[in-house]
Structure 1
Amino acid sequence: MSGLLAFFIVLALFAVFGVFIFNQLVTLKHNVGKAWSNIDILLKQRHDELPKLVETCKQYMQFEQETLEKVMQARSQVASARASHDIPALGQAEGALRLGLGNLFAVAEAYPELKTNETFQHLQARISGLENAIADRREFYNDSANVNNVRVEQFPDTVVARLFGFRQFPLLRFAAEEKKDVDLKQLFSS
């Protein structure tokens, strides 16, 4: 009888421990979801601001259509990756958009009327602020995803994770272009 009681006590302890691990994994999963939502909101805000910036630039930059088109194409790629929750594609599209915006702001230097335009200055500051916020949220998302991914692989959490279908989340990575050194000579020659 005492052996059976000990068995049920050990079984109850394992059950409580399993529930504890399960609840922690649920918390981690929702933290990743929250981190993604924070990025998604900022991407949406930037998505809404970019057409205004491009339209303002079009008024001054008749001969720079290629630069404007690249920004809008990258914006479309970001929106598509965001809508499909494709984290790797979003990382690549983000790189293309950052490059396009950098080129747009560099080209704008050649248009003094545009640089002094109040709407352009406001939009440039707003988009730059959103870029910084996205970078901060990307770091928070990657940290949340990494904590989740480690826990899903660690024993004994991996047993509970596999049993209940918890999964790893991809990290939001920088595109190779974003990690290369900036060619200052090329920027100043254009």
Structure 2
Amino acid sequence: MSRRLRRFEGNLTASRALLDVELKRRCDQAPELIAAARAAAMPSEILAPLVGARSLAVALREQGMSLGEQAGSENALSVALHRLMFEVECNPNVKHDWAIQRPALELKVTEQRIIGAARVYNDSAAAVNRLVRAIPAGLIARMMGGREVPLFEATVVELPVGSDEAEMTEVPARHEVVPQAPFHDDTVALADRDAGVPGALL
């Protein structure tokens, strides 16, 4: 049992680290696309939510917020990015502008990596949760320090959006995360496929 629990928890730790790397990569890549979009005079009503979403995602990560709160901000960032990238694809003025198309393409690749990393993390989390809940094995697992872990679920967080030039300087200790249908079902993560495992256990 101890070997099995350690293996599951090791998989969980590794998959969480991979997910963190890809989410950070997206935050690092976003400013280049934002700058190119500003230079191309893209609509401010599209850029403003993107700037706010990125700032919030970075702030929550730096403040060590829960996985559920990070999922909400990361999904909001993905929604804002997809909205801008859709505009980039449809706007004939930037359709052949490599300065904006290149960072958009790089972010699309990162989005796909995030989808894969989130799937792996959620599968690992579901395996740990099943083991901890099992009877009677779960009792032994809990005695050995095993505990249920949250999934990384698709949620949408309400953003404080101002001017696209504004930078968020203060973030409240908690943000309301509102579960609803995401803009893109696979943007941040997929729902847990095991009906016996609930959503994020916050």
Task: Give the 3 Å change call, closer, same or farther, for CA 109–27 of structure 1 in structure 2.
Answer: closer
Identity fraction in percent: 26
Which string of whole-angstrom CA distances, capped at 9 and with x for unpartnered residues, describes residues 75-126 of structure 1? 1222234342522112211221122112212333464332211121111111
Q: Which runs of 4+ in 1 moved over 4 A?
A: none
Name the counterpart of 1:35.
Answer: 15
Q: Distance in 2 between matches of 1:180 and 1:113?
A: 26
CA shift, 1:127, in A, is: 0.2
TM-score by length of 2: 0.72
Alignment of 1:56-71 (within 5 A): 56-61=36-41, 64-71=43-50
Name the counterpart of 2:181.
Answer: 177
Larger helix proportion of the pair: 1
Matched AA of 1:94: E
Gaps of 5+ in 2: 156-179, 186-202
Q: Partner of 1:115: helix, strand, or coil?
A: coil
Name the counterpart of 2:158.
Answer: none
In the alignment, is the contact (CA less than 8 A) between 2:79 and 2:184 conserved in 1? Answer: no
Alignment of 1:4-23 (within 5 A): 21-23=1-3
Match of 1:77 among 53, 56, 61: 56
Q: Partner of 1:113: helix, strand, or coil?
A: coil
Q: Bigger shift: 108-117 or 25-34? A: 108-117
1:136 aligns with 2:113: no
What's the RMSD between the two structures over aligned residues? 2.1
Match of 2:129 among 119, 125, 149: 149
Q: Distance in 2 between matches of 1:127 and 1:179?
A: 16
Q: Distance in 1 between matches of 2:46 and 2:84?
A: 6
